[in-house]
Amino acid sequence: MEKVTVVGAGLAGCEAAWQLVKRGIPVRLMEMKPHKLTPAHVSGDFAELVCSNSLRSDELANAVGLLKEEMRRIGSIIMESADLNRVEAGSALAVDRVNFAKTITEKLRNHELVEVIEGEVTEIPEGTVIIATGPLTSDAFSDTIRGLFPAEKAYMNFYDAAAPIVTFESIDMENAYFASRYDKGTPDYVNCPMTQEEYQAFWTELVAAKEAEVHGFDDGGVFEGCMPVEVMARRGVDTLRYGPLKPVGLPDPKTGKDPYAVVQLRKDNREGSLYNIVGFQTHLTFGEQKRVFSMIPALREAEFMRYGVMHRNTYINSPGLLDNCYRLKSEPRIRFAGQMTGVEGYVESAASGMLVGITTAMELLGQPCPEFTRENAIGALAEYVSGGSVGNFQPMNVNFGIMEPLGYKVKGKRNKNLAISERALKHLEEMGFGGEDK
């Protein structure tokens, strides 16, 4: 049996490798860590989460909730590890990042069909290959990939940022309280209220704070889902109060009323010793992060275990280049997976790796490939990537808007979304994925 090479052991590469080996296809998994780290990574483990420990909503009325449920039913190594290493975060799926990565790393390294090769890849390997090196692909390999595409606009960039992490013991809980918005789920977020005066002073310093230099950075090149907090603040004095600092549904127990603004913190590990500042992706200098974020009353004495960082993400102008199985049309032995295809988000990246792994395995086994369509979240992402607008292609999170419409009216947005999810899961079952294939 041909051995498939998977380049990159992020979420997409790990999921692709897992789908291959569970179907009996041997895998050569190539990863440059720990010998070479990107600006955003800190460990040598596979599937390292760098931006957030949250895999977002787990509800079927939300498109990413549907996508995760589809992956669970198909048998995802990423979802298995996420559920195993879950930390409470209301209706969101948040994980202990360290143990999440370790679980996946150990499972793949110990699999008899997986050969792990450490070191940077600079040339495209022979044979069937899945390139899942992610948005932080090394410069040398990025240049090699660029050579696959004749068009100048085939390779594109945007910037995103990671949020700071503080220790729980350094949070002043006299000026903070546990709650989830509208009491939804368990009260797992630490909420740091601010008065109007405190918020105004914070905003004034935030918009004037010194930023770290990031080569080629401009505000327009930032993906909306990872907008740095200081960039968001420049859009208007109240922009943050309608975004990550929205106080609605989070009444302060001391007053019984919603504060003027609220900064939320979410668990970053299962023990609850570390918390990340929700929505505070940033590329301020470390010194300015400490100075400005310490203006939040509950964080005046905060101990920062990691400051926010900014990094460039690279993706392919996929429409016209890739088909709906993420194969390169000009050379189908080469497939891509993950954020470099133009899917945005950890879950979406893993889902693309899942589809690539399944279809590649079925091809090599000479069996019919399952046809994921726009009725499924997994298929809708692949259709968006392969069939989006060539002239204005942008990274995209999964959403119900890219899925096949119901064709009939349902009263209420939530009910409509649930009907789309119900149809998607029924279609998945008809394809033979009923949850038993794990």
Encode pLDDT of 204-224 as tens digits. 999 999 988 754 444 445 555
Q: What is the per-residue pLDDT for 38?
A: 56
Cβ atoms of 268 and 97 within 8 Å: the answer is yes
Q: What is the per-residue pLDDT for 372?
A: 93
* Confidence tier at 388 by pLDDT (50, 70, 90): low
The 10s digit of each residue's pLDDT in 32-42 is 876 565 555 56
Cβ atoms of 318 and 330 within 8 Å: the answer is no
- Over residues 240-267, mean pLDDT: 95
- Over residues 190-209, mean pLDDT: 97
How far apart CA 264 and CA 252 sit, in angstroms, is 13
Strands 27-31 and 4-7: parallel
Q: What is the per-residue pLDDT for 51?
A: 66
Which has more pLDDT, 130 or 392?
130
CA-based angle 215:220:221, to the nearest 5? 50
How far apart CA 384 and CA 341 sit, in angstroms, is 10
Q: What is the per-residue pLDDT for 364?
A: 96
The 10s digit of each residue's pLDDT in 121-167 is 999 999 999 999 987 788 899 889 988 887 767 777 776 677 898 99
Which has more pLDDT, 39 or 270?
270
Provide the 10 A C-beta neighbour count for residue 37.
14
Q: Coil, helix or strand for 337?
A: coil
- Over residues 383-393, mean pLDDT: 73
Q: Mind giving me the DSSP string for 175-220?
A: G-EEE-GGG-SS--EEEEEE-HHHHHHHHHHHHHSPBPP-TT--GG
* Confidence tier at 393 by pLDDT (50, 70, 90): confident
Sequence letter at residue 111? H
pLDDT at 24 over 90: yes
| Alpha carbon 90 to its chain's center | 18
Q: How many residues does the chain have?
A: 438
Q: CATH 3.50.50.60 in the chain, residues?
A: 4-158+313-430
Cβ atoms of 343 and 385 within 8 Å: the answer is yes
Q: What is the per-residue pLDDT for 437?
A: 46
- The tokens 């859009």 sit on which residue? 235
Residues 6+ away with beta carbon under 8 Å from 163: 51, 52, 276, 277, 278, 279, 280, 281, 282, 308
Q: What is the per-residue pLDDT for 131?
A: 97
Mean pLDDT of the chain: 89
CATH topology of domain 4-158+313-430: FAD/NAD(P)-binding domain (3.50.50)
Report residue 426 as tokens: 């029924």
pLDDT at 323 over 80: yes
Q: What is the per-residue pLDDT for 214?
A: 57
How far apart CA 288 and CA 345 sit, in angstroms, is 28
The 10s digit of each residue's pLDDT in 73-123 is 999 999 999 999 999 888 889 999 999 999 999 999 999 999 999 999 999
pLDDT at 431 over 50: yes
Q: CATH 2.40.30 in the chain, residues?
A: 164-307
Strands 155-162 and 165-167: unpaired
Phi then psi for residue 24, to 5 deg, are 85, 10
How far apart CA 99 and CA 102 sit, in angstroms, is 5
Residues 6+ away with beta carbon under 8 Å from 210: 284, 285, 287, 288
CATH architecture of the domain with range 164-307? Beta Barrel (2.40)
Least confident of 145-154, 249-258, 361-370, 403-412: 145-154
The partner residues of 229 in beta bridges, in order of sequence, read none
How far apart CA 324 and CA 355 sit, in angstroms, is 9
pLDDT at 230 over 70: yes
Which has more pLDDT, 311 or 379?
379
pLDDT at 301 over 60: yes
